[in-house]
Structure 1
Amino acid sequence: WAIRISAVGDIMMGSTYPDSSSLIERDFFREVRPFFSASDVRIGNLEGTLFDGDIQTDGKRGGANRYLFKTPTRLAPHLTEAGFNFLSLANNHSRDFGRAGLESTKRTLAENGIGFSSKDGEVSEINIDGQKVAVISADFYQGKRSITTPASLYAEIRSLSNRYDIVIVMVHSGAEGMGAEKTRNNKEMFLGENRGNSVEFAHSAISAGADLILMSGPHVPRGLEVYNERLIAYSLGNFLTERGISISGYQGLAPLLEAELDSTGRFLSGNIHSFQQIRGRPVSIDPKARAYRLMSRMSAEDFPGTGPVFSADGRSIRPSQAPSAIGTDSDLLPIYRP
C-alpha cells in the first residue's frame, strides 16, 4: 500500500478588493488537472478568502497599498474541477475580511466538496483503501497551531499519529520574496514579524509523528529535505496568484510536487512538475523546468547529505538511500508525460 500526494503552494484566483477591474475568470487549472488525476490527496494553500461581503471591522484595514484578497465565491468550482480535496486556511490572508470572510471561505469550500483546516483546529480526514490520513494546517501567528509557540501543536501531532495512519501538516511560514529561496535553520523575520524557524519546526514535527511537511509563505520555491525518512518541502512558492502577488523572477515559478509514501509514512519517490505563471494566462507547463532546477540547487546547497536525489530527467526525485532500503525501482512514481 502506498499513498500519492500532489501539492502546490499559494492559490489566489483574483480579488474584488478594492475593485473587480482586473478580475478575469478563465480556466485557471486547465494544464494542471491531468497531473492531479492519479493522486489520492491533492493539496494547496488558499491565499485569501472566498467572500462576497465588504470590509469587516475585525479584519484588515483597507486603503491604498493594502493587500487584501477577496475572491468571489462563484469562482470556487474551479478548485473542485482542478481536483483539490484539501486547502489550507492557516495563513496571513485568511482573515483579511475578519471572521465573516473566514467562515464564508469554509462554507464555500464545504459546499464544493473540498476539505480544509485552519487555526480553528479542523482536522481534514481522507480515507484511502481503509487507511486514514489526517491533514492539518499551521502558521506563524501566535495562538493555536503556531510554529513560533509550537508545544501544543507538537502535542496535537503526537495525538493524531496515534489515531491516523498518515499525518500531513501544511505550514505557512518564512520570509518572503526574491532572496527568500534560501532555507536557514534559524528564526526568520519579515516586516518585523517572527515567521518562525521552519527547519526546527519541521524536524520536531516529524519527531512528534508527522509524515509529510509541506510549506508555503515565501512566495518562491525552496529546497527539500528528507528527515527520518520523511519528506519536507520548505516552500512550494506561488502556484496560481492573480493581482496583488508578484510573479516576477522566482516568484513566477510554480512547482507541483508529487510524493509517494508507504503505509508508515516513509518517502518512497516523487516528481516535481515545473509550471510557470505568466500574467493574464492560466498556469502553464514550463518547458525549461525552472522550478525543478531551482529546487534541486537549493536542496543541494541548504541540505547537503539530507536532500533528496534529483534526476537528470528534470522531474523525478527520490531519497538518497539505496532504493533497496525502502522499496524497489518499481515503486518509483511514473513520470507523467502530457
Structure 2
Amino acid sequence: MPTLAAEPRVRLTVVGDLMLTRGVPDAAAALAPMQARLAGADITVGNLESTLSKAGSPTQGGDSFGAGPELLRPLREAGFDAISLANNHTGDFGDRALTETVEALSGAGIVPFGAGRDLDAAARPAVVERAGITFAFLGFNAIGETPRATRSDPGAFSVRMPPRTGPLVDADLRRVEREVRAAEKVADVVVVLPHWGTQYTHRPEAIQRHVARRLVVAGADLVAGGHPHWVQPLERVGGVPVIHSLGNFVFDMDFMSQTMEGVVLEATFRGATLEDLNLVPYRMDPETFAPRVVGGREAARILGQARP
C-alpha cells in the first residue's frame, strides 16, 4: 500500500464572491493580477454572483446583476474549473437566464454547481478529477431571492435558515447532508460552498456553526462560505476547516473598506488528506476592482479577521 508521501498532491484554490459586471469596468483586467495564481492551481473554484444571460426582466431592480457570455473567456483564462451558482443573484433575470447561465458555463468547460433546471440538477455536485484524486463540490443558498429549485422548477439548491430565510428547515439541511454523503462515496474530497450569514460583519451567526457541524459529520472535508462580503473566521470542526466567509474577490462594493478585501484559500491535498491550508490576503484596486495580494501590516490585519 503506498505511503502518504507517495500519494499524488493536488492544489485547490477557492475564492470568494465574484461579481464581474455593473461597476466593474473590465472583467479580464479585474482578474488579471491574480490570473497566474489561480491558473497555477490544479483546481480553482469560486462563487459567481451574476447571470451570464439577461433573457428576462430584472428581479431585484438596480441590484440585479446580469451579464452575457462575454464573461466566460475571462473566467476560463483566469483558470476557473468549477463555479458555484448557489447564491441570491443567480435568479436575477428569471428562470431562462438561470438555465442559460448553467448551460453557458458547461459549454465553456467550467463545471457549474448549486443551481439548475430542477432540484436534482441544482443538488448535483461538480466532480473534478486531478492526478487520480476526485473532488466533489456542492453549494447551497441560504439567503433567498434566487428561487429554490424544486422537482420541476429551476433555481438554487437552498436551505432555509436564519438570518434571511426564516428558522432552519431541517428537511432542507437533511437533503444537503444526503448529497454530501452520496458525494463522499464517489469522491476522495468533498467541498461545500454555503451562501449564508449576515452581511457586513466579521462574526458568523450561531446557526452557521450548527450547520457546519452537520456538514462535517455528513462527510464534508472543507467548508468555504460566502455572502457576508467581509472576511469571517476560519475554524476547525472535528479537524475539518470551516471558513465562514472568504469576503469579496471581485465586487464593486467600494463604500466600505472591508468589502474591498478578502482572502484566497489555498489547500493542498496529498491523496485524500489535507496536507496544508493557507489564506492569502488581498485588497481590490478602487478603480478596476482587481484584487492584489498585500503583505506586512495590511496582511496581518486582514488575516486577523479570519481568526476565531
The alignment partner of 1:24 has SS state of: coil
Task: Name whichever structure is richer in helix by fraction.
Answer: 2
Q: Residue 202 of structure 2: which of 181, 192, 196 is its match?
A: 181
Task: Tell me, yes or no, if the aligned pair for 2:139 and 2:194 is still in contact at 8 Å.
Answer: yes
What is the TM-score of this pair, normalised by structure 2? 0.81
Deviation at 1:145, TM superposition (A): 4.0
Task: Tell me, yes or no, if the aligned pair for 1:223 and 1:296 is still in contact at 8 Å.
Answer: no
Alignment CA distance shift 1:183-1:31 (3 Å):
same
Q: Which residue of structure 2 aligns with residue 157 of structure 1?
A: 180
CA RMSD in angstroms comes to 2.2
Q: Which residue of structure 1 aligns with residue 17 of structure 2?
A: 10
For 2:301 and 2:72, the matched residues in 1 are separated by: 31
For 1:5 and 1:250, the matched residues in 2 are separated by: 25
The alignment partner of 1:76 has SS state of: helix
Alignment CA distance shift 1:222-1:37 (3 Å):
same
The alignment partner of 1:256 has SS state of: strand
Alignment CA distance shift 1:234-1:97 (3 Å):
same
Return 5+ residue gaps in structure 1 as ranges. Answer: 16-21, 187-196, 303-338
Tell me if 1:132 matches 2:140.
no
Q: Residue 213 of structure 2: which of 203, 207, 212 is its match?
A: 203
Deviation at 1:40, TM superposition (A): 1.9
Q: Which residue of structure 1 aligns with residue 300 of structure 2?
A: 293
Tell me if 1:47 matches 2:69.
no
Q: Which residue of structure 1 aligns with residue 118 of structure 2?
A: none
Q: Residue 223 of structure 2: which of 213, 232, 248 is its match?
A: 213
- The number of aligned residues is 273
Deviation at 1:291, TM superposition (A): 7.1
Task: Tell me, yes or no, if the aligned pair for 2:113 and 2:137 is still in contact at 8 Å.
Answer: yes
Task: Tell me, yes or no, if the aligned pair for 2:29 and 2:288 is still in contact at 8 Å.
Answer: no
For 2:91 and 2:248, the matched residues in 1 are separated by: 19
Tell me if 1:171 matches 2:194.
yes
The one-letter amino acid of 1:223's match is P
Task: Tell me, yes or no, if the aligned pair for 1:30 and 1:282 is still in contact at 8 Å.
Answer: no
For 1:218 and 1:61, the matched residues in 2 are separated by: 18
Task: Tell me, yes or no, if the aligned pair for 1:28 and 1:283 is still in contact at 8 Å.
Answer: yes
Alignment CA distance shift 1:290-1:74 (3 Å):
farther
What aligned pairs does 1:81-120 form with structure 2 within 5 A after superposition? Answer: 81-119=77-115, 120=122
Deviation at 1:218, TM superposition (A): 0.1
Task: Tell me, yes or no, if the aligned pair for 2:56 and 2:97 is still in contact at 8 Å.
Answer: no
For 1:247 and 1:86, the matched residues in 2 are separated by: 29
Deviation at 1:298, TM superposition (A): 3.5
Identity level (%): 23
What aligned pairs does 1:39-78 form with structure 2 within 5 A after superposition? Answer: 39-55=41-57, 60-62=59-61, 66-78=62-74
Q: Deviations over 1:47-86 (max 9, x none)?
A: 1111143416xxx153xxx410012321221000100001
Deviation at 1:247, TM superposition (A): 5.3
Tell me if 1:146 matches 2:159.
yes
Deviation at 1:121, TM superposition (A): 1.9
Tell me if 1:256 matches 2:264.
yes
Task: Tell me, yes or no, if the aligned pair for 1:274 and 1:289 is still in contact at 8 Å.
Answer: no
Moved more, 213-222 or 32-41: 32-41
Q: Deviations over 1:141-183 (max 9, x none)?
A: 4664426331111111112112211111111001002xx1122
For 1:147 and 1:291, the matched residues in 2 are separated by: 36
For 2:280 and 2:123, the matched residues in 1 are separated by: 31
The alignment partner of 1:224 has SS state of: strand
Task: Tell me, yes or no, if the aligned pair for 2:54 and 2:93 is still in contact at 8 Å.
Answer: no
What is the TM-score of this pair, normalised by structure 1? 0.74
The alignment partner of 1:28 has SS state of: helix
Task: Tell me, yes or no, if the aligned pair for 2:126 and 2:138 is still in contact at 8 Å.
Answer: yes
What aligned pairs does 1:306-325 form with structure 2 within 5 A after superposition? Answer: none
The alignment partner of 2:245 has SS state of: coil
Task: Tell me, yes or no, if the aligned pair for 1:31 and 1:284 is still in contact at 8 Å.
Answer: yes
Q: Which residue of structure 1 aligns with residue 250 of structure 2?
A: 240
Alignment CA distance shift 1:296-1:254 (3 Å):
closer
Deviation at 1:268, TM superposition (A): 2.3
Q: Which residue of structure 2 aligns with residue 28 of structure 1?
A: 30
Alignment CA distance shift 1:102-1:214 (3 Å):
same
For 1:36 and 1:23, the matched residues in 2 are separated by: 19
Deviation at 1:99, TM superposition (A): 0.8
What aligned pairs does 1:259-274 form with structure 2 within 5 A after superposition? Answer: 259-265=267-273, 267-274=274-281
For 2:63 and 2:38, the matched residues in 1 are separated by: 30
Return 5+ residue gaps in structure 2 as ranges. Answer: 1-6, 116-121, 150-156, 162-168
